[in-house]
Amino acid sequence: MRVDGSPEDIAALKAALAAAEQRADLAERHAAAVEAEAARVKAEASGTQALIAHLTLEIEKLRRELYGSRSERKARLLDQLEMQLDDLEAAATEDELAAEQAAARAKTVVRSSFERQRPAKKPFPPHLPRERVVVPAPTACPCCGSARLSKLGEDITETLEVIPRQWKVIQTVREKFSCRECERISQPPAPFHPTPRGHLGPNLLAMVLFEKFGQHQPLNRQSERYAREGIDLSLSTLADQVGACSFALRPLHDLIERHVLAAERLHGRACPRAGHRPDPGDTTVPILAKGKTVTGRIWVYVRDDRPFGGAAPPAALFYASRDRSGDHPERHLAGYGGILQADAYGGYGRLYRPDRSPGPVTEALCWAHSRRKFFELADIAGSARRGKAAAPISPLALEAVTRIDTLFDIERTINGLPAAARLAVRRETSVPILGDLEEWILIERARLSRHAPVAKAMDYMLTRWESFARFLHDGRVCLTNNTAERALRGFALGRKAWLFAGSDRGAERAAAMATLIMTAKLNDVDPQAWLADVLARVANMPQTRLDELLPWNWKAADEPLALAS
C-alpha cells in the first residue's frame, strides 16, 4: 500500500490502527478472562478438597466418640487427618484469594463468583473484655458540607486480638450520622483487616504463624491450648487464616528471594549423594502421601556478606521438594552465576559445568565437613561412648585435625575484614600451611590401604582439592558452610514436634514462612513482632514501597501497633 499523504490515506491508516488496537484489547480481555476462569476452577477444587477433609475429620471424631475407640492407631489417624485439613484449608484460602485477584484484573465477568463453604463463625465469648476503638466521625456532611449532623446509630466490627496471657475483643465502632440539611447518611469506611474476611488481629495472627513455623507447634495443638484458655478457635479457622497470611506475605518472600539470588556468594545445604549414608545434618521432612509418608527435603541458600565486610543484609531462602534430585538446585539457581559454598553433593554438578548458561557456578567446599571425617576417627571420648563398635583411634586423623585447626585459627582473625584484606592475609599465612597439608596427605595416603577409614577421609579431600583451596584465591569465600547448617537447625528440631508435613503445598508453605522468620532472625529482628506489624500494614502498602517492610529496613513503631485503620 502506497501512502502519498492524502487525507484519504491518513484516515485509512487511522482506521487500521484503531482496529488493531481494538483487536489487541479484545485479546487481552480474553486472556484475562481465561486466567480468571482457571483460577476460579482451581479455587473451587481446593475448597471442595478442604470441605471433604473437614467432613472426614468430623466423621472420624464422631466414630471415636460413638464406639469409644482409644487405640494409638486411631489417635494417629486423627492427627494425620487434622494435618491434612490444616494444609488443605490454607491452600484453599490462598487459591480463593488468587481467584479473586485474577477476577479483578479481568475486565469482563467470566462466571458468577462463588463463596467457599466454611465452618460457621461462632460469636466471641461474652466473658472477654471489650475495648472500644471509635473511628472519628465526620464534622461536616460530605455531600453538602453542613455541620448539622445527628447520630443515627453505629456498626460494630469485632476483631479477636491477643495480649500476652490476656485475650480481648477489639470493638471498632463506626458511628452513623445523618445530615439535617440534605438527609444524607454518612459513616466512616469499614476497618482494615490483615486478612480478607478475617476476624483475628495482626498480633494474634503473628503469634499463630510464629508458633507454627518458628516454634513448630501444629495448629491442632495450638487450637487445644486456646480452648483451655476459654477461646474457641478451631483448626479450620486457624488453617484458613494461615493460608490468607501466606498469600498476603508472598510479595515479601519474593523480594527476599530476589535479594538472596543476587548475592556474589551463597551458602547452600544439600542432601547426601545417592548410595551414601545420610549425613547427621541432612534435613529430611516426611511428607504425607497416600497411606504412607515420603522423605521430602528442605533446601536452604543463605546470603551473608558480613564475613568479608559486605554491606548487603543477610537473608535465608528455603525450598521444599519431594526428593533429593539434582533437578531441584538446578531450578533454584537457574539464573545464578556466583560462588556456591556447599558440601560435595553430586546434585550440584550441573551448576559447575563450563557450558552452563548463564555461566558456571564457582564451587567452594566446606572445611568443617572434611574436618568432621577426620575428627570422628580421632575422637577419643566419642569412641569410648561407642564401645566395642568404635573404630580404633587414628594418629593420622588427629594430625590432620590439628593441621586443619591452624587454618581455622587464621580465619578467626580476619573475619569481618574486606575481601582484599582477607585474601592478603591468607596468601601470607594460609598458603604455606595448606601446601604442607597437601604434601603430608599425599605422602601418608600412599602408605595406606584403600580400605583404611582415614584413607577415605583423605581421598575425599584430594579428589576435590581445587574446590577446597578456593578460599586462597577469593577473599569472599569462607572456610566453612556452617551458616547454612545453622539455618537448617530449626527444621531438624521441629520435625520431632510435628512429625510430617500434610502435603507438598504444606511443605512449600513451611519453607516460605521459614524464609521470612529466619531472615528476620539473621537481621536481629523479633520475628513475631515483625510479622504482626507487616500483617497490619502490607495490604495498604504500595508495591513500590514494599521494601520498607523487609526485616533489614523495618523499624518497630514507637507507639503500640494500630489495630484498625
Of 71-85, 202-216, 399-413, 521-535, the one with minimum mean pLDDT is 71-85
Q: What per-residue confidence (pLDDT) applies to 508?
A: 87
397 Cβ contact partners less than 8 Å away, ≥ 6 residues apart: 374, 375, 376, 377, 378, 454, 457
Whether the pLDDT of residue 180 is over 50: the answer is yes
pLDDT score at 108? 54
pLDDT of 535 > 80? The answer is yes
- pLDDT over 60 (residue 58): yes
pTM of the predicted model, to two decimals? 0.75
Of residues 202, 199, 210, the one with CA closest to residue 233: 199
Q: Among candidates 508, 535, 17, which has minimal Cα distance to 287?
A: 508
Helices and strands in the chain: count of H runs, count of E runs: 16, 10
Look at residue 410 and tell me whether its pLDDT is greater than 90: yes
Quick one: pLDDT at residue 431? 96
Q: Please determine, for residue 417, whether its predicted confidence score (pLDDT) is greater than 90.
A: yes
Would you place residue 342 in the very low, low, confident or very high pLDDT band (cuts 50, 70, 90)?
Answer: very high
Confidence of residue 476 (pLDDT cuts 50, 70, 90): very high
Cα 530 to Cα 243: distance, rounded to the nearest angstrom:
18
Which 3 state secondary structure label does DSSP give 559?
Answer: coil
CA-closest candidate to residue 113, choices 126, 97, 128, 124: 97
- HSE of 204, CA atoms in CB hemisphere, 13 A: 26
Stretch 500-506: mean pLDDT = 65
Degrees to nearest 5, angle at CA 478 with 476 and 483 = 115
Residue type, 417: L
Q: Which single residue is written with the C-alpha cell 601418608? A: 444
> CA neighbours within 13 Å on the CB side: how many for 515?
29
3-state secondary structure of 122: coil
Provide CB contacts within 8 A for 475, sequence distance 6+: 308, 418, 419, 420, 421, 422, 423, 426
Q: Are the CB atoms for 252 and 245 separated by under 8 Å?
A: no
* Cα–Cα nearest to 243, from 33, 468, 86: 86
Residue bearing the bigger pLDDT, 21 or 155: 155
pLDDT of residue 413: 94
For the cut 90, the answer to whether the pLDDT of residue 479 exceeds it is yes
> Residue 80 has what pLDDT?
65
Among 15-19, 349-353, 540-544, the least confident range:
15-19
pLDDT for residue 425 is more than 90: yes
Least confident of 33-37, 122-126, 235-239, 510-514: 33-37
Confidence check: pLDDT of 561 > 50: no
282, pLDDT greater than 60: no
Question: What b/e readout covers 166-186, taking b as 16+ CB neighbours within 10 angstroms?
Answer: ebbbbbbbbbbbbbeeeeeeb
Helices 504-522 and 527-537, axial angle in degrees (round to 10) = 110
pLDDT at 169: 92
Range with the largest mean pLDDT of 130-144, 317-331, 416-430: 416-430
Provide the 10 A C-beta neighbour count for residue 65: 9
Q: Is the predicted pLDDT of residue 395 greater than 60, yes or no?
A: yes
Span 83-105, pLDDT tens digits: 666 777 777 788 778 888 887 77
Q: Which 3 state secondary structure label does DSSP give 39?
A: helix
Please give the angle made by the CA atoms of 159, 163 and 165, to the nearest 5 degrees. 125
pLDDT given for residue 209 in this prediction: 95
pLDDT at 277: 39
Which one is predicted more confidently, 78 or 531? Answer: 531
Q: Locate cell 548475592: which residue?
A: 263
Nearest Cα neighbor of 504 from 323, 318, 238 is: 323
Q: What pLDDT is stored for residue 192 in this prediction? A: 77
The residue-averaged pLDDT of 411-426 equals 95
Structure confidence at residue 556 (pLDDT):
59
pLDDT greater than 90 at residue 495: no
pLDDT of residue 273: 35
CA torsion 124-129-133-134 (nearest 10°) is 90
As a whole-number percent, the residues of the chain with pLDDT over 70 amount to 78
pLDDT of residue 558: 43
What is the predicted pLDDT for the residue at 119? Answer: 61
Confidence at 166, pLDDT banded by 50, 70, 90: confident
* Residue 178 φ then ψ, to 5°: -115, 145
Q: Please, what is the average pLDDT of the chain?
A: 81
**Domain locations in the chain?**
21-105, 122-198, 250-365+481-559, 367-473
Report d(CA 244, CA 95) in Å as an integer: 9
137 has pLDDT over 70: yes
pLDDT at 106 over 70: yes
So what's the pLDDT on residue 559? 39
- Three-state SS string across 137-160, please? CCCCCCCCCCCCEEEEEEEEEEEE
